[in-house]
Structure 1
């Protein structure tokens, strides 16, 4: 028997909840560990803060590992729960007479993540993720993941095109949770219009990998932010959906394209947005301080053959943007309806 997670009234009601999930190794923990760096490199006033000691410890340890140790977070060996809050700038608008009004509370976006070893909805290729453990812990973990998705209205799904080329199991990790979530929302009478009430950001991870970058280049999807001094290539959110569709074509199972159909079945079109993300970004030489097509890989082999290390500074790409887009959309819905 599982207990549904409930908001803690003593903490006050958060503005928004965002839940994350994806296949094992898709980059969930690395993306969250890179959030601090991404926010620090920006100047828009946002910051990330742990909502409990364990989450703060994670943020400190993983950020130090990425920045100083140049190593990626280790794979989860147990069910892990993390809670952070993105805190935005305090807004102050003049009143009707032009006088300074009382400052509004800062915007708060809560990020809740549950991570488990091997995934919770794996395929036959990964039986540890697809079958219940003898003690039933697999079922309880699935229930906890679904509780987290149900209580959130913003979802982040990470699609790893490199893993998909090898294992081809992204559809399994997307479709099963969505089907179970829809079952719950139907029972709660929150599926009245045939769609989930959630917004979803689909993140195509590992944009820094040469295979992903070259795919975007060949499709003519690359652009450069005029305000970026490093001139790092990017893919806009408007074009990231096309990159997603293109990368789905190299699925080992041939099922990745079904994810587009699943997204259309479960979500309103205007509540889906795609992002091409990289937690570590591209390598930038400290002397030239510019992106170099002949020398851009920021991930290199470590001491052991299976280990990977970060070569240079972190320049996260589209790590913060999915969270802020979800927060803004959820704020608009809440303002219009009076509910989240």
Structure 2
């Protein structure tokens, strides 16, 4: 009987925000690291889905297909034993973090309609909400390009957030008037010039001296400020309420912002370093000018870090009880 993960992380975001691609990139990013962290499916469907997604991103040079039906996938992030309280034990159990994604076609996190809702829609909403309620770690994806073009991040946040608060209140799980979750806010598409240049103009980019590719990065201490800057160009002007809502409902020290990219920047095979004059890894497809293709190898940025931060915080919280 396989071991049950001790902590669970849920994924949340607007349709097209990149939940599926982030998971595919997570597998790639873990395999590029020189440590023991890995992601493993907890059932055959989840294993097959992860394999297909990752192959599409690496070998097929294309993004995984969007979901057409409601599916629930479960994986386990497995890594080295935790340090600290248990480091003197002769046999230390590995660290195991459950990662659950209730993947659905676009719109299930949007505000519900008072009329015309079917029983099936009610059921899907409940399953999505149960995932958030049962988890204590959340990855919330914010797509700044979608926000600039569509501007619906707040629409996909405030409804479920109010429902989540309602359920936590029912079970007396508000802690100091806040939700008990830790939340990693992932600002996606850092490889897009509009996002990268915004970070550059705001002087939020710092070099990573340990990175042989010398990719630009925005540290966690500056990621919140970049989120604020990108929110100002929302198509509807509602993105600024996303940060305010997060601060109102979650403990400030349980929120952390990350600037991420699932495909990363293009790297010349000879220099193997980032070039400000040639960094686009998503370019027009020569066979179909209306489509885009991934140009080179995938080098995910800040995809693993949010997961490990959540896992570490949840493990620490569990030990303190």
Change (3 A) 1:91 1:157: closer
Structure 1 contact 91–103 (Cα < 8 Å) conserved: no
CA distance in 2, matches of 1:304, 1:80: 31
Deviations 1:3-47 (A, max 9, x none): xxxxxxx65442210000101111100000011110111112100
Q: Say whether residues 1:115 and 2:106 are aligned partners.
A: no
2:59 alignment counterpart? 68
**Number of paired residues?**
320
2:199 alignment counterpart? 216
Q: Which moved more, 1:130-139 or 1:202-211?
A: 130-139
2:231 alignment counterpart? 248
Structure 2 contact 129–160 (Cα < 8 Å) conserved: yes
Q: Say whether residues 1:297 and 2:280 are aligned partners.
A: yes
CA distance in 2, matches of 1:44, 1:74: 30
Compute the TM-score of the two structures, normalised by the length of structure 1. Answer: 0.90
1:52 alignment counterpart? 43
1:5 alignment counterpart? none
Matches within 5 A, 1:151-300: 151-300=134-283
2:314 alignment counterpart? 330
CA distance in 2, matches of 1:171, 1:318: 23
3-state SS in 2 of match to 1:278: coil
Compute the TM-score of the two structures, normalised by the length of structure 2. Answer: 0.95
1:25 alignment counterpart? 16
Structure 2 contact 13–109 (Cα < 8 Å) conserved: no
Q: Select the residue among 53, 76, 80 that pairs with 2:71.
A: 80
CA distance in 1, matches of 2:86, 2:226: 45
Q: How far did residue 103 of structure 1 move?
A: 2.2
Q: How far did residue 192 of structure 1 move?
A: 4.6
* Residue ranges of structure 1 left out of the alignment (5+ in a row): 1-9, 124-128
Q: How far did residue 260 of structure 1 move?
A: 1.2
Structure 2 contact 86–92 (Cα < 8 Å) conserved: no
2:299 alignment counterpart? 315
Deviations 1:38-67 (A, max 9, x none): 011111210010111111001111111111
Q: How far did residue 172 of structure 1 move?
A: 0.9
Q: Which moved more, 1:60-69 or 1:278-287?
A: 60-69
